Amino acid sequence: MSEEATALLEKAIGLAPDERERLAHTLMEYVEGERESLRLAEDRLEEVESGRAKMIPAREVMSRLRADRD
């Protein structure tokens, strides 16, 4: 653990129990959100690599967007 993380941990340990609990809960929600984002990205990559996802060239996407706007 970095010095900064160690210092934060020491400060967190010094908080009142309810504040520590809220802090821990908030950190876990953040970590779980990052894990979920990573899982979704990995799933999407697997779809692309397996050929299950249909890829559309950027020029075609931009052309469709411009056409929809007009």
Distance CA 33, CA 51 (A): 27
pLDDT tens digits, 16-67: 999 999 999 999 999 999 999 999 999 999 999 999 998 999 999 999 999 9
The domain limits of the chain are 3-69
Rounded to the nearest 5°, which phi and psi values hold at 54? -90, 120
Q: Which residues contact 48 (CB under 8 A, 6 or more apart)?
A: 55
Residues across the chain: 70
CA 2, 28, 43: angle at the middle one, nearest 5?
100
Check: CB of residue 24 under 8 Å from CB of residue 15.
no
Model-wide pTM > 0.85: no
